[in-house]
Amino acid sequence: MILVTGATGFVGQALCAELSRRRMDYRPVSRSPRPGFVAIGAMDSDTDWSDALAGVEVVMHLAARVHVMNESADDPLAAFRAVNVDATINLARQAGAAGVRRFIFLSSIKVNGEGTADGKPFTPTDVPHPEDAYGRSKLEAEEALLVISAETGMEVVIIRPPLIYGPGVKANFATLMRWAARPFPWPFGAVRNRRSLVYVGNLVDFMLLCASHPAVGNRVFLVSDGEDLSIGQLISKLSLAAGRKAWMLPVPPALLEGLAAFLGRRAAAQRLLGSLQIDIGETRALTGWSPPYSVEEGLAATVAGAGARAR
């Protein structure tokens, strides 16, 4: 039996759908009562997980306070810690006591940092360098889980994905997808940055591999589609998936960065123009895993999903 927290979220829904498709036994968790779910109420350091953990061999812990663009909490780090650290520790301790064999934790590449230099992708053995409260909370949770593993014998698997996309994706990626479907001239023809992404179907496939693979215990894994894209390439592929051809203007990146700084949008420009690459070579070597879906397949499914919801 697999316990899935965060089952109503973007990744959680995709994971549960794939578990159902593969006819694997799983138990989805929600905070409030839902048909077919185990309701656990507030997810915090005092949550009682005893009923939800009964008979469970593997926990897939996806529930989290996610990174937000417009933070409103007075103390963001405390808010992230309450859910991402304290609630995770509580669940993991109860899981270890209940005899759970493996605890799979969905972390974030933000534990490594916000960007990479050319030709120097992040690896699982890099010294962590989180730059915001969300990334720090995920690192603290990882460190606590490894301590609990040593104390209880429960294996811990830590997965750090980059930006996740797929049908139902929201926030910045959904906005970019809507704009890419329009006949709009983009100023990214001269931008040569490289960014790693992961299609939710590829992430779910790797998570399910980790549920049973004998060599993944107490390790950190990076996962991506295995193909890194510039911002221009990403927009072009999204446009093609929507049935259009993107028009790229070769504006010098320095000019774009200067304009963004003048407008007070330096952080937004970094997300568009900067690089963030991850090396999945160790993931492939240790597990034999390869992404089952190409970037083109993932983007096509994402665009098709958006179109289906719009109708």
Measured in degrees and rounded to the nearest 5, phi and psi for residue 131 equal: -115, -5
The DSSP-derived string for 213-265 is -TT-TTEEEE---S--B-HHHHHHHHHHHTT---EE----HHHHHHHHHHTT-
In sequence order, the β-bridge partners of residue 155 are: 102
Alpha-carbon dihedral sign for residues 101, 152, 159, 86? positive
Is 293 considered catalytic here?
no
Residue pair 219/102 in contact by the 8 Å Cβ criterion: no
Read off the DSSP letter of residue 87: I
Each residue of 167-187: b (16+ CB within 10 Å) or e? bbbeeebeebbeebbeeeebb
Residue pair 53/38 in contact by the 8 Å Cβ criterion: no
CA distance 35 to 25: 16
In the set 26, 134, 165, 293, the catalytic residue is 134
The DSSP-derived string for 21-43 is HTT--EEEEESS--TTSEE--S-
CA distance 286 to 160: 16
Active site residues: 134
